[in-house]
A and B are shown apart, each in its own frame.
Chain A
């Protein structure tokens, strides 16, 4: 199981800015190891964000997203106390979901 995400959800002016730091290797599949073998791609493919249980955003990512990915988006109409959850799934089938409360 991967390490937890760090999610910061800050309400401002009726919206909430969500900043997420995920912990993932994001291997591109372009790199070779010391023996000259290609390191297989290993990256987050799907990201889903929910606001109080309702899906507000889904995303598909390729291997070009940087290691330990950062994601920022703005949820409309979110106020303090609302729950924002983010989950990801990588190309090996591993997944992780974390939740934060808007402050």
Chain B
């Protein structure tokens, strides 16, 4: 008997496998990985995305400002020149839920994505590249926030 969490984890694995092979049908969306987005620590979030151990890597870059005046809109990005990247994650360590966004990378795009995130307070920002072989390579950068963007 499988519990709900295991089921969710497995469906996420299947979905990401499909996405990485390019077989993913356009109309079938991946199940939302709630466990990963509820995770309170970087390790838990990466684990919920079904990746192996975290390792720091110089080949992964986190893009972000040194100081963000407004925590409600912090431009953050992740990029790497490595080949064989399955997913790019952007995480903010001190947010209530650490995972901001996860991007499934296909051959059709560069491994370079950017978005804007909310940050509750000054924190380390992580960019994690999940490789096809399951390794999770990360880079981090401290972003100082003058005015928090969570809560109101």
Contact = CB atoms under 8 A, between A and B. Distances in A.
Interface of A: 15, 26, 28, 30-32, 45-46, 48-51, 53-67, 69-77, 89, 91
A69 to B, nearest CB: 6
B58 interface: no
A76 B96 CA distance: 35
20 contacts: A28-B150, A48-B29, A55-B22, A57-B105, A57-B113, A58-B19, A58-B29, A58-B30, A59-B101, A60-B36, A60-B37, A62-B97, A62-B99, A64-B95, A65-B101, A65-B116, A65-B117, A72-B114, A73-B109, A77-B108
A26 B135 CA distance: 31
A10 to B, nearest CB: 14
Contacts of A45: 32
Q: For chain A, what secondary structure do more than half of its interface residues adopt (helix, strand, loop), or is it mixed?
A: strand
Those 5 A-B pairs whose CB atoms lie nearest each other, nearest first: A56-B108, A74-B110, A66-B116, A62-B37, A72-B114
B115 A69 contact: yes
In this complex, the interface size class of chain B, counting residues with CB under 8 Å from chain A, is: 35 or more
A74 B99 CA distance: 22
A31 to B, nearest CB: 4
